[in-house]
Amino acid sequence: SAPGAKVDFAATPGPNWKRRDPIAPAAPAGTTHRLTLDAVESVVEVAPGVTQELWTFNGQAPGPVLRGKVGDTFEITLVNKGKLGHSIDFHASKVAWNDEMRTIKPGESLVYKFEAKHSGIFMYHCGTAPALHHIGNGMFGAIIIDPPGLPAVDQEFFFVQSEYYTGPLGQPGDLTKMQNEAWDAVVFNGYVNQYLHQPIRIEPGKRYRAWVLDAGPSENSSFHVVGTIFDTMYKEGAYTLRPGDARGGAQALDLQPAQGGFVEFSMDEPGLYPIVTHKFANVGKGALGLFQAGEVPAAGGAAH
Ligand SMILES: [Cu+2]
């Protein structure tokens, strides 16, 4: 197949580029959440100067972050506004694969209704064959089901890690590269070095929660924030660490594809705190961002 568009990891985005807002939405009021997701192919910039025809939910990869509580009902209408068959599979649901998760043709729609019976951050994705191509080309997102009693923090963020396997400019990703696990880039929230180009402003001493999902399709994540220690960690439906007399600290949240969790932390002093997967080969391939704690200079840009 074609070699695919080349990613220049030292390039910076154009003046009109805007990062994906990394703030996790709060759960909306009420216990029934009705919303529509459009399956649609969209030409999207994934790195400076690199466009791909992604297959998306609502024109963006990852798709919108959905949120609710245990016991809530989600009534999702999937509308296929694209030119290929698509489908949706919510890992937060317990429904039959051959019914709600069926593939619909362009112009068709379906209603996918489920009760959120378990808490966590779950993946949703298109499962239409070859699912590797549909997930690897952008058809995934996160749905957060709050654990009961989730404490308030000063701010919550989300980071969905995924890979890109570039096709030619403006065209879909390369299935052969996906089959060979030969990714060109690893990204948080869909764009190479996104939060290095536009760092995430926070404040020293405040308490933060980062929800993390590894959407893959094939690479793992060792989510780490340089310069801090997580005092709370929740992974795949359970707390693995909470503050206590043992003063336990966690350095990385390890996730395989389709796993998720959250970490909580604060920064003890002003400055810059890189966001990475500690599988460091991928830091040089786009999985790098910055928290900017306090009014400190943030160089930004890949040259930093
Ligand atoms: Cu699809």
CA 217 to ligand 1 centroid distance, Å? 13
CA 267 to ligand 1 centroid distance, Å? 40
CA 162 to ligand 1 centroid distance, Å? 16
Residue spans per domain, the chain: 32-146, 155-293
What is the percentage of the chain residues whose pLDDT exceeds 70? 98
For residues 87 and 127, the answer to whether their CB atoms sit within 8 Å is yes
pLDDT of residue 280 exceeding 80, the answer is: yes
Query: Per the structure block, which two tokens stand in for 112?
Result: 């996918």
Q: Give the Å distances, CA to CA, from 288 to 29, 62, 143, 175, 256.
A: 34, 17, 23, 25, 18
CB contact set of 158 (below 8 Å; sequence gap of 6+)? 22, 23, 24, 65, 121, 142, 144, 189, 210, 211, 212, 213
**For 62, which DSSP code?**
S
| H/E segment holding residue 67 | strand 66-69
Residue with tokens 């890992």: 91
* Lowest mean pLDDT, pick from 46-55, 95-104, 200-209, 287-296: 95-104
Going by pLDDT thresholds of 50, 70 and 90, the confidence category of residue 161 is very high
What is the percentage of the chain residues whose pLDDT exceeds 90? 96
* pLDDT value, residue 23: 98
CATH architecture of residue range(s) 32-146 = Sandwich (2.60)
Q: Give the Å distances, CA to CA, from 276 to 117, 160, 252, 253.
A: 32, 12, 10, 11
ipTM tops the 0.85 cut: yes
Could you check whether 32-146 and 155-293 share the same CATH topology? Answer: yes
pLDDT of residue 301 exceeding 50, the answer is: no
Instruction: Name the 3-class secondary structure at 18.
Output: coil
**What is d(CA 192, CA 147) in angstroms, rounded to the nearest whole number?**
31
Q: What average pLDDT does the structure give for the chain?
A: 96
Determine whether 180 is exposed, middle or buried from the number of CB atoms within 10 Å of its CB (0-12, 13-18, 19+).
exposed
If you average pLDDT over residues 144-171, what whole number do you get? Answer: 98
Q: How many CB atoms lie within 10 A of CB 204?
A: 13
Q: 155 pairs with which residues across the strands?
A: 208
CATH architecture of residue range(s) 155-293 = Sandwich (2.60)
CA 147 to ligand 1 centroid distance, Å? 30
Listed residue (41, 39, 160) closest to 102, CA to CA: 39
If you average pLDDT over residues 12-39, what whole number do you get? Answer: 97
* pLDDT value, residue 298: 82
108 or 303, higher pLDDT: 108
pLDDT of residue 1 exceeding 70, the answer is: no
Give the environment of ion ligand 1: residues with CB less than 5 A. 55, 86, 126, 128, 134, 139
CA 12 to ligand 1 centroid distance, Å? 30
